Amino acid sequence: MNFQDFQQYIPQILDAPLPAFASHIKMAPKERIESLKAFSYADKNPRKAAVLMLLYPKQEQTHLVLIERNSYEGVHSAQIAFPGGKFENEDVEYETTALRESEEEIGISREQIKVIRPFSPLYIPPSNFLVHPYLGIANETLHFVLEPKEVASIIELPLSDFLSDALLHETKLTTSYATNIAIPAFKINEHIVWGATAMMLSELKEVLHFVLKKSYMTIRD
């Protein structure tokens, strides 16, 4: 999708309803569905984190950036994710966390980013984190500088590809909570994107589809 065309939808994105659980569940292993319900983590005192879903122009087309985390001893080792990380005491709010971590991990300063809106928080049982996603936009071509201790590579995903169902995939994985289970996922450039990132992508995709469909119906009327 052309970036200039995409920008006209930002006011509608601001007002669009968030499907939250209804969209998360579409990309959730059945073993995780109960844990997605709010009451299931209320007594666990989860740690807080925030991520940035960043849209930007590349060769005039709208793109979404994802990162491939480095391998380490942890539950999220080598996974595909959004830039982001743990809430720190000096962070004013979760939005601050998302912007700070994005600057640290992919070298994009907060001055280059306009945060559009928050999306639905998502609880991650294996790490006991409650993650707050934010949608942001940069109006210029970006030059990424990766933090090598945390980020192995980035994926620059064209928005038109993301909105297509061709990326939907099912795979079998052994996770921290089950062995050889069927998991819904996105297959992006041979990377399997599953778990929390896939669930957040699912909500973003549904919101964008809602806005595009609504705009199309308005034009027809």
Examine residue 54 and state whether it is found in any structural domain, yes or no: yes
Asked if residue 21 is part of any domain, the answer here is yes
pLDDT tens per residue, range 35-84:
666 657 778 899 999 999 999 999 999 999 999 998 755 544 578 999 99
Is 136 part of a structural domain of the chain?
A: yes
| Spatial distance between the Cα atoms of 189 and 178, rounded to a whole number of angstroms | 26
Q: Which one is predicted more confidently, 109 or 178?
A: 109
Q: What six digits make up the tokens of 102?
A: 């994005």
Question: Is residue 110 domain-resident?
Answer: yes
3-state secondary structure labels for all residues of 160-220: HHHCCHHHEEEEEECCCCCCCEEEEEEEECCEEECHHHHHHHHHHHHHHHHHHHHHHHHHH
CATH of the domain at 143: 3.90.79.10
Q: Is residue 125 one of the residues assigned to a domain? A: yes
Label the pairing between strands 122-124 and 129-137. Answer: antiparallel
The pLDDT tens digits of the residues spanning 167-189 come to 999 988 766 666 778 889 999 98
Q: pTM score, two decimals?
A: 0.92
Which H or E run contains 137?
A: strand 129-137
Task: Give residue 141's pLDDT band: very low, low, confident or very high (50, 70, 90).
Answer: very high
> Is residue 221 situated within a structural domain?
no
Question: Does 220 fall in a domain?
Answer: no
Domain membership of residue 204 (yes or no) is yes
Q: How many domains does the chain have?
A: 1
* Percent of the chain's residues with pLDDT above 70: 90
Domain region containing 63: 3-215
